[in-house]
Amino acid sequence: MEPLEELMLNIKKKCGEDLKEELNLAELPEKGGLYAELGAATEKRYIRMSIREIHAPVLLMCKGTDEPESIRVLSRICDYMKKNKQKLKGLTYRVKGISVQSGPHKTGRMEDGQVVYSSIINFEIY
């Protein structure tokens, strides 16, 4: 398993187990819910050490009819990830740092009246 693949699966697992929020990795659910997508990751290699750092932005989207609830859910996920980075470690990577690049903000409104909020979390892994 690749580090980025395992990171995404661990994010989904922790959202389900610890936050009781079902996170979809395939697509934004039609009837509302949470979705996560990996952005363009960058890699930094160190010549003298056999370590490579990967900076991976993860886009989180929340679709629903209740705007305050969407903001609350994304805020909880962002706070959880920042405070519990050690719980996200995997077999193929370790978490060096987590930062919120963009807090919960309105991204758009669907034709059926549901609003879409999003947030971006940067994961630094090695």
Domain of 64 in residue numbering reads as 3-106
22 located within any domain: yes
Contacts with 6 (C-beta within 8 Å, 6 or more apart), sequence order = 90, 91, 92, 93
Contacts with 24 (C-beta within 8 Å, 6 or more apart), sequence order = 33, 34, 35, 36
Give pLDDT tens digits for 39-95: 999 998 877 777 889 999 999 999 999 999 999 999 999 999 999 988 899 999 999
Q: How many domains does the chain have?
A: 1
100 located within any domain: yes
122 located within any domain: no
* Cα 91-92-98 angle, rounded to 5 deg: 95
pTM for the model: 0.91
